[in-house]
Structure 1
């Protein structure tokens, strides 16, 4: 079974992170119901392909959906029941430790800055309230999923990963245009993590360094250096600034350790923030840094349509950043095994 991790980055961010978590330097704030659904997205989806007017999911954890055989109703319902039970347990755990996220006071008007969160009084679309209805809403978008591309990619030798045996796995990546920024991140990492932790691994993925830069990383990084097979990707995945390499790297590594920490080259760690977030992620399943800008304004409307929703529902919420992500290796995040 493929671990299905959806990390929607860049302008799209995460459609499901309607009330995201704020961390590192800040105390983590509440996850909403829809952020919990984002956890279920993680259990079901891999990457969203946007190509011209089309958008489709490349993965699902339901083997009957993968093969297109929907006749096994009993098995499908049993799988749904198990997912629903995980969903309910996670909600109960979150409600004990989280607090309500403050709603924006602004009403959406033409005079309001387009990047500001607001409440759209003309929005008639509503999300389902009950947990079973929310889960069905997620699953129903994926019945026509096509995983041929994902199957091929995840079989590439460059994406084969063995368990590290460590509690923490830190992962980062860079090409030449982020090499200097990566060096600053690495210095901060070794000053913060190395003196205080021992049960961890660090992996660096080369997205396009020069030979000299790669040699320097191998010499000074004190990490495992891997090459991401950019040229073996589908043509629409090869543009680095579309960031499809990020969810694939995360998916390949999600079960290699107890907690996976994705760090962009811009990340700078503090010990207090790191310790708080490591505690939070074991309860929440994932911790995603709050980003900037309106989720509704920066999410492609085709993505909203794919998930059977509309932009106005998410007008009150900020985007979540794909640059700093904590994931706990658990069924709710990593998916069910058969």
Structure 2
């Protein structure tokens, strides 16, 4: 057995066994899914106390699902042991209150299969799978890759060409959509692509927070898999569940634009540290936003209203020296 395999006996497997098996149909109904942040201790290990606070905030403010170890949660900076442990922890602590979707995708089909087996073994409700990145493959290879993991349980396919270097075209999605475990697509190619799918009955979540209002109310998206909801879960819930609301969307856009001024999750990590919700610790290669951007965030919070943003204390600018950058962990 390979070294990154997680020792399942470390988890309370009885708790996992008690959780009702989830169908793809249940996943298809989720409207607000938060791509949850992973916080760290000064030595770079997970700060599970801060993570649990973040999870509770999401649940209390109406998030219906979470992505664990996705791009926002920095799954690409985790060992597989860490990855599966965090999925198992989330299920054991919160699995009865929110749907837990584990990012078990990989550019290696073999790794994706192993990680997905482990994720479902510790009780995750669904898997998130990306297309093979960097090395890429043919369209036939994409279908074979996804079919290899779809057999295991409910699955969301994630299309984000800006990170993978390869679009997943509709022909591939329509081919694998025949699987009973295909829950839908997290789509980052815009609302035209979303409408192309929803017109044919494929469930889609917007992967672009700045487009998600129109995706939901104008193009048929079921909802959003959101970065912004880490910071403003109540407002994002209203945006996804409360009906068309162009004024709220416009109010949120400055925050959303700020969150993506650098590659995600740099700004989110900085913001949560400024709010005192997580320690100001970054796993390299991520580093905090510069001072001027941190000042911008303080002003954005004032405009939105402190009561609408997570955390209890005043938002701080923080000094550069307050941040800890961890290369080995």
Question: Normalised by the size of structure 1, how large is the TM-score?
Answer: 0.27
Larger radius of gyration: 1
Q: Which has the higher contact order (CA 8 A, sep 6+)?
A: 1
Q: Structure 1 or 2: larger helix share?
A: 2
